[in-house]
Amino acid sequence: MQNNDIDFQPNDIVKTCKYLEKGLCFQLWGLQCCCHGSKSSPVIVSTEEINNGSVSYDLIVQRKKDLFLGINGKKNIDLGGCKGCSHLIEKKYKDVHFDYIGGEYLPGAFNIQHYTSCNEKCVYCPYAQENKFEIPQYDILQIWELFRKKRKLKGNNWIDFSGGEPAILKNFNEIIDYIYKNKMGFTVVFSNATIFSQSIYDKLRCNKIALTTSIDTGIKSKYAEIKGVDKYSNVISNLVQYRNSGTKKLWIKYVITDCNQTEDDMWSFIMAMLAIRPNKIQISPEFPYGDKQISVETVKYAAKLWYNLEMYCGKIVEDGVSAHGDIKIVQYHKQLKKEFDLLKTKRPMKKDLRLKQFNNNPSLILQFLKYANNRIPNNKIWNSIRYYAGKILTSWGIY
Ligand code: SF4
Ligand code: SF4
């Protein structure tokens, strides 16, 4: 790191963090280095500074350095969540860099949530419940451009595109195209799938993005109760279209709230998953903001849902909570594992209960393979056709 004002020697050991050096999160209130669930860096450049024209490449780099100096006791500034953060590591001062952003596959190192507007009103969404839906507060492409023009915007990133509902943004396609034109990396789009996006479909088709959609039940009326809008049928038809893209990156989420912990919710959801065949299913309790706790009933329901989903859909279920440092979440993970193991001990999983036939209508290829294996003689061309047909079926999990 080049900065003559700072009295560190090149080999001095300093505290830093990958997000501090390479991350950039677009929040309503400005730019942050990270925005993890319960811990995040302070704002380094405010929305006001972006909109009044003060923001520049040099300003962002300088503010990151200021935060670094604060963490290392050289400057008296607000450290926000950086104080005592578990992501801090020690390394030599000469290896610390703030001149570029990106370049590492860090979960959420680029995070797009500079707006909160949405066409749903989920019971567990703080923005919806507090009526704080806001349109985009600034142009995020303008910020990335500051770095790109100086060749300081690196690729190989993990980008979270949430909000709000991304698909209703006027420049949603433009942002997605910018990411891929500049080879910035892999994007997880958090969309409620109430409206179909051709851009999402096209990028899913070539596995350039992952789509995460929370359904939280398989009952239409319950969906309307949780989401505040009666859009279940739209969501299902859009998900079926996204499934038909042939993607390997369709992820569905179940957020457990107080009102979707019945057997009907669970089994209707399992049936929907057997039909849609997501590549991942994420289970998460409603986030325990402030005084809110995760109840014992919620943990038991999460374990039962996980157990049954894994039994019928296979090992595609995973934890949907990322705030691992939060004590309530640590506790939740511990109890969840205990309950899950208890269920498995009582009733061991049977592999033959797992549904094997995937979508993508494989019957023609399957018939061809059987025919080819029995009748067509071995030669180079037919062997490679057989090989690739087998590969396709294997990727669908059926051969
Ligand atoms: S809050 Fe933690 S992860 Fe985020 S920039 Fe600060 S030290 Fe890094
Ligand atoms: S879909 Fe997402 S942004 Fe919209 S109300 Fe629900 S949680 Fe909030």
Half-sphere exposure of residue 120, counting CA atoms within 13 Å on the CB side?
Answer: 28
Q: Which of 214, 211, 338, 328 has its CA nearest to residue 282?
A: 214
DSSP per residue, 163-201: SS-GGGSTTHHHHHHHHHHTT-EEEEEE---SS--HHHH
The answer to whether the beta carbons of residues 57 and 146 sit under 8 Å apart is: yes
Rounded to the nearest 10 degrees, the angle between the axes of helix 327-346 and helix 296-313 is 50
Model pTM? 0.86
Report whether pLDDT(324) > 90: no
In order of their start, the domains of the chain are 13-95 (no CATH), 110-137+149-353 (3.20.20.70), 363-395 (no CATH)
pLDDT digits (tens, 9 = 90+) for 236-262: 999 999 999 999 999 999 999 999 999
Ligand 2, residues 116, 118, 162: which to mutate, most atoms within 8 A of Cβ?
118
Task: Check whether 356 has a pLDDT greater than 60.
Answer: yes
**Residue 39: CB within 6 Å of ligand 1?**
yes
CA-to-CA separations, 322 to 91, 318, 332, in angstroms, rounded: 26, 11, 12
Residues 193-223 pLDDT 10s: 999 999 999 999 999 999 999 999 999 999 9
Q: What is the chain's mean pLDDT, rounded?
A: 90
Q: Whose CA is nearest to atom 7 of ligand 1?
A: 82
What is the amino acid identity at position 151?
Answer: R
Please choose, from the candidates 329, 311, 327, 328, the residue with its C-alpha nearest in 3D space to the C-alpha of residue 319.
329
22 Cα: distance to centroid of ligand 1 (angstroms): 11
Question: How confident is the model at residue 359, as a pLDDT?
Answer: 46
Averaged pLDDT for residues 300-306: 97
Judge whether 280 and 318 are in contact, CB under 8 Å. Answer: yes
Structure confidence at residue 362 (pLDDT): 57
* Residue of 119, 122, 195, 257 to test ligand 2 pocket, by largest number of atoms within 8 Å of CB: 122
**Which DSSP symbol is given to 292?**
-
